[in-house]
């Protein structure tokens, strides 16, 4: 049986829960998060998304022809997202020229480390990274202002369709992958889960 995105979620429910359910997100939903905590996440996520965009560029370079369209759409969305992060930072008077915190740095190092990985591994990691935010921002339920637009960005139906397409592409690539590649894909999935949990936590421990 080849590995699939669904089987990864079924095998690793607890790791995935830690990646997608966090006091940061419930704090947004309940209005109890400190603005400074939110701002820490906002700046660090902008730094992450810049490197993530470069990773998606590398996934595109490794992808088979039928996968190009979805990945190009993803890159177009990221172009808009980077400008949107800049606008949000300006509104909040945040300095984007800030060093990466440890958890952001480690996540960016992981993204870079995927460069030589076989395409099925890269496709699985890309799906997991996008699905983490798609689920994380949706699970708490409707978010009040000023967080509504943040929840919508990753929770909207168009983004959900995109994530489903990424899962189908990862599954397609995994279907013919050898065992060693499947093992690498599973490790990448677990590493994404771990790095996502640490990324939320960073807002509460600014030194990390």
Which residues of the shown chain bind ligand HMH in the complex (CB under 6 A)? 45, 48-49, 129-130, 132-133, 196, 199
Complex with ligand HMH: residue 29 or 53, whichever CB lies closer: 53
Q: Could you tell me what percentage of the chain is helix, strand and coil, using 3-state DSSP and rounding each to the nearest 5? A: 75, 0, 25
| Nearest residue to ligand HMH, by Cβ distance, number only | 133
CB of 107 to ligand HMH, least distance (A): 6
Burial 128-145 (b: 16+ CB within 10 A, else e): bbbbbbbbbbbbbeebee
Closest CB to ligand HMH among 55 and 63?
A: 55
Q: Can you point out the beta strands (E) in the chain?
A: none
**Least distance to ligand HMH from the beta carbon of 157, Å?**
16
Phi, psi of 65 (to 5 degrees): -45, -50
- Minimum CB distance to ligand HMH, residue 1 (Å): 28
* Residue 124 or 182 having the CB closest to ligand HMH: 124
The least CB distance from residue 163 to ligand HMH, in Å, is 10
DSSP 153: H
The beta-strand segments (E) located in 82-132 are none
How many residues are listed for the chain in this entry? 208
Instruction: Give 121 or 128: the residue with its C-beta nearer to ligand HMH.
Output: 128
């Amino acid at each position: 049986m080849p590995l699939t995105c669904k089987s990864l979620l079924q095998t690793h429910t607890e790791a995935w829960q830690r990646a997608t359910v966090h006091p940061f997100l419930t704090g947004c939903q309940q209005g109890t998060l400190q603005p400074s905590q939110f701002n820490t996440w906002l700046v660090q996520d902008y730094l992450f998304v810049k490197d993530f965009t470069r990773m998606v560029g590398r996934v595109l370079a490794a992808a088979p022809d039928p996968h190009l369209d979805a990945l190009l759409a993803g890159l177009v969305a990221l172009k808009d997202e980077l400008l949107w992060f800049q606008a949000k930072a300006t509104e909040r008077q945040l300095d984007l020229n800030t060093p990466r915190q440890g958890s952001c740095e480690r996540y960016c190092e992981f993204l870079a480390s995927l460069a030589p990985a076989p395409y099925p591994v890269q496709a699985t990691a890309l799906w997991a990274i996008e699905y983490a935010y798609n689920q994380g921002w949706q699970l708490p339920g409707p978010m009040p202002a000023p967080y509504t637009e943040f929840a919508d960005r990753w929770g909207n139906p168009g983004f959900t369709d995109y994530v489903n397409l990424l899962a189908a592409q990862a599954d397609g690539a995994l279907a013919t992958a050898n065992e060693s590649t499947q093992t690498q894909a599973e490790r990448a999935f677990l590493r994404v889960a771990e790095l996502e949990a640490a990324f939320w936590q960073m807002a509460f421990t600014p030194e990390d």
